[in-house]
Structure 1
Amino acid sequence: MVEMMSGGYSRRILLLVTGLTPQVVTETLYALAVQSKEKFIPTEIHVISTGEGAERARLSLLDPSSGQFHALCREYGLQSILFPPENIHVIEDTTGQPLTDIRTPEDNLRAADYTVHFIRKFCSDESSILHVSIAGGRKSMGFFAGYALSLFGRTQDRLSHVLVNDPFESLPDFYFPPMQGKVLYSRSNRPVHTSDARIMLADIPFVRLRGGIPQNLQDRKVSFHETVEEVQSGLRFISLSFDLPKKSICCGGKWIKLPPALFAFYLWLARRQVMTSGEGAIHSQEANHHDFLRVYADVVGSMSASLENTAQVLKNGFDRQFFEEKLSKINRIIEKSLPLEASFYQIATFGMKPYKKYGLRLTPDQISL
């Protein structure tokens, strides 16, 4: 049975970036699949490393007779985890040769592109859940893996770092705590017992930006640099202004046209936010519908039939349904037009039923009327 943490996904991927310490693979797998209360048993494991790191991983983890990955699986009954040598991916230089280490800015870019490629690819499979470990490799590799997961990761995906207590963290012969404890020798030739080993998995929260990234960046192979540039170009200075004749709002430099009734409702809330020094959120039953109708008249004209119809609807004042309908429609339009910055400009809900209030999060100095 697949445990809760796996969420029922048929493809469960563990991706690790490693350097010269392949032990992080078995330590992370042990923490996830054996030690954790909510176990994550991967269906496949992938490793990204340099040439030397990949060779160490193949020999120490996957050797048919002495491989520590196979030993861990046998000892703890972990079955059907796909981890062939082909799943150890070597970062290549511009000529297609394996990188022996990451030492130059060009090497860093190659490592970034390589990592982004795999994380984008794995996150594009709707049947998958991805767990990324940044415990091994150079710090830049861990950064790129975490950054890539922030760009493309979904709700189900996770980021972690495995921690091992001294002296086992730096012990070449320690890969995981065996069921039957044994004595190992530290670098200073001091005997230590594996029963004293402690493996801890630190879950790392990360901001998920996937919902705001253009679909073309999610679908096509783009370099790390190009991805960051394109995402950055979508993040604008937070400011709000209005064009009354065009019935459009300008959010950080991007214009969004709204239907007249929605434009009037949004303008009314913005005016409230400015006039009340940022305390414009209002309960539907406390709001003065005449104030809104005056703003609506500024938008459509005092002789407009739509103004007359709206005045008839609101003859007994506002109700919650009117508020929530306008809020929902406006927020959908803003989210579609500003996938990255929508939350700054959408109408927010404050408090709980029956005391809900509605208003803007923007400060008065961010709003130009």
Structure 2
Amino acid sequence: MTRPLHLLALAGLSPQVVTETIWCLAQGPSPRLPRRITVLTTGAGREVAEKLLPPALRQLGAQLGAALPMPEWRLLTGPDGGVLDDIVTEADNRHAADAIFAAVAEATLDEGSDIHLSIAGGRKTMGALAALAIGLCGREGDVLSHVLVDPRLLGRADFFFPPDPPALLTLPEGGTVSTAEAGLTLAEIPFVRLRAQWRPGRDAGAFAAAVAAAQQRLAPPRLSVDVARREVLLGERRLRLPPTPLGILLWLAERARAAAPPLAWRGAQEARRLADECLAALARTAGDRDLGAARRALAQGMERGYLAEKVSRLNRAFREALGPAAEPFLIRAEGRRPMTGYRLALPPGAITILEDARGR
């Protein structure tokens, strides 16, 4: 079942892009009309659009035989919190980026509708920012587009869509042009959907922060175990761990750096050897109390239940800290019981171990 359509359109001083987009959407074998229209514009753009757009939408609706919704206005604000009349400074551009991103992110949170984002209007910088925003937030079913129109009819106050029947319009340089020659075309623009790389919410934050969050997810994962600080860095996320889980992670990280096989053991001798390895790592992170508890637990060699509980605890902490971005850092359980093995799947070059000041 097709979901309702929300048209999100950029507009400067030429609100015609809204009706031109809707007219194009109504053409073809699978016509779609918006149930909701939101116009992102400046203060100056709204003054023009408020006068021209509502009557044009009513006329277009009458021609199409369907009542079109009246537009909702989403105004760009500047550094002082006031409405922007234009984007002329670096600060204006930064705040416009935040406002456009917030509008797009908020629209995509509505799971009951598809978004059609038109970047035909407004300044070029607005279109570039909106295209990047839909790339960060867009879902399957969301569309990015631009309207192409005959230059002779571009931005005219007497042309909002091709009327039926066509009309003759006078050209400034003399002569006339028929609206039948508008050549109105909706050009859909493919875009890469990065929504899965971060978690947009109703308080999505600044545009630059969202770009950084997505970029961090796309960057190769890196793990740093800081023994001195008793914490780890998962990419850029700092996480403090209790001494025993930290020691287990240190052990697994050192094995991964040495390209050792997954932790698996057969027989008492192998269990004893692995217990000694584990205790040596714990001695660098744990105090006497925690280390003593580990020695008692591993007195007969490495126990599967002991390691499984610590791995589960580590993975839970990573997921709570990073959500979906935790995936590369999780400790993997491989093979079937009772031969399950454990390993940190990061490549050796992605792991750093920082020792404490005593060089232990």
TM-score class normalised by the smaller sequence: 0.5 to 0.7
CA distance 1:230–1:18, change in 2 (3 Å) = same
Q: Secondary structure of the residue that 2:225 maps to in structure 1?
A: strand
* Paired residues of 1:14 and 1:45 also in contact (CA < 8 A): yes
Q: 1:74 corresponds to which letter in structure 2?
A: A
Q: Is 2:109 aligned against 1:111?
A: no
Equivalent residue for 2:69, pick from 67, 73, 82: 82
Cα displacement string for residues 109-156 of structure 1 (whole angstroms, at most 9, x for unaligned residues): 4534543554455456666654433332112223443455566x3746
Match for residue 22 of structure 1? 15
**Aligned counterpart, 1:354:** none
Indicate which of 130, 137, 157 corresponds to 1:145: 130
Runs of at least 5 residues in structure 2 that lack an aligned partner in the other structure: 283-290, 335-341, 355-360
For residues 326-365 of structure 1, the aligned pairs below 5 Å read 330-338=314-322, 342-343=326-327, 345-347=329-331, 359-364=344-349
Identify if the C-alpha distance between structure 1 residues 199 and 244 changes in structure 2 by more than 3 Å, giving closer, same or farther: closer
Contact 1:247/1:299 (CA < 8 Å) preserved in 2? Answer: no
Amino acid at match of 2:16: Q
Distance 2:134 2:28 in 1: 24
Listed as ranges, the matches of 1:1-369 within 5 Å are 3=2, 6=3, 13-32=6-25, 35=28, 41-63=33-55, 67=56, 69-79=57-67, 81-84=68-71, 87-91=72-76, 99-119=84-104, 121-122=106-107, 130-148=115-133, 153=137, 155=139, 158=142, 160-164=144-148, 167=151, 170=154, 172=156, 175-176=160-161, 182=166, 189=176, 193-194=180-181, 197-208=184-195, 211-212=198-199, 218-219=202-203, 239-243=222-226, 248-251=231-234, 252=236, 254-257=238-241, 260=244, 264=248, 266-267=249-250, 269-276=252-259, 293=275, 295-299=277-281, 304-307=295-298, 311-313=302-304, 330-338=314-322, 342-343=326-327, 345-347=329-331, 359-364=344-349, 366-368=351-353
What is the count of residue pairs matched by the alignment?
A: 327
The answer to whether the Cα contact below 8 Å between 1:26 and 1:176 also exists between their aligned partners in 2 is: yes
Cα drift, residue 338 of structure 1: 3.6
TM (normalized to structure 2)? 0.63
In structure 2, C-alpha distance between the alignment counterparts of 1:49 and 1:294, rounded to whole Å: 66
Distance 2:304 2:333 in 1: 23
Shift of 1:47: 0.6
Deviation sequence 1:73-132 (CA, Å, 0-9, x none):
3344444x5324xx2344456788764432233433453454355445545666665443
C-alpha displacement at 1:23, in angstroms?
Answer: 2.8
What's the TM-score once normalised by structure 1's chain length? 0.62
Separation of aligned partners in 1, 2:138 and 2:301 = 42
- What CA deviation, in whole Å up to 9, does each residue of 1:200-258 have, x standing for no partner? 22242242378456x7xx449x7767x679969x9999642335698753334713316
Does the aligned pair in 1 maintain the 2:262–2:343 contact within 8 Å?
yes
Identical columns (%)? 25
CA–CA distance in structure 1, aligned partners of residues 187 and 52 of structure 2: 22
Q: Provide, for residues 170-203 of structure 1, a one-character-per-residue CA deviation record: whole Å limited to 9, x for no partner.
A: 374664566x674766967565745854322224
Q: For the residues of structure 1 that align with 2:247 and 2:274, how far apart are their CA atoms?
A: 11
Q: Secondary structure at the match of 1:20?
A: coil
Q: CA RMSD in A?
A: 5.2
Q: Structure 1, unaligned stretches of length 5 or more?
A: 351-356
**2:17 and 2:147 in contact (8 A); partners too:** no
Determine the structure 2 residue equivalent to 1:353.
none
Alpha carbons of 1:126 and 1:270: their partners in 2 closer, same or farther (altered >3 Å)? Answer: same
Q: CA deviation at 1:18?
A: 1.2
Q: Provide the secondary structure at the position in 1 that maps to 2:189.
A: strand
**Partners in 1 of 2:330 and 2:312 — Cα distance?**
9
Give distance in 2, aligned partners of 1:327 and 1:174: 66
Q: Is the 8 A contact 2:138 2:193 kept in 1?
A: no
Secondary structure of 1:83's counterpart equals coil
User: For residue 307 of structure 1, what is the amino acid of its counterpart?
Assistant: L
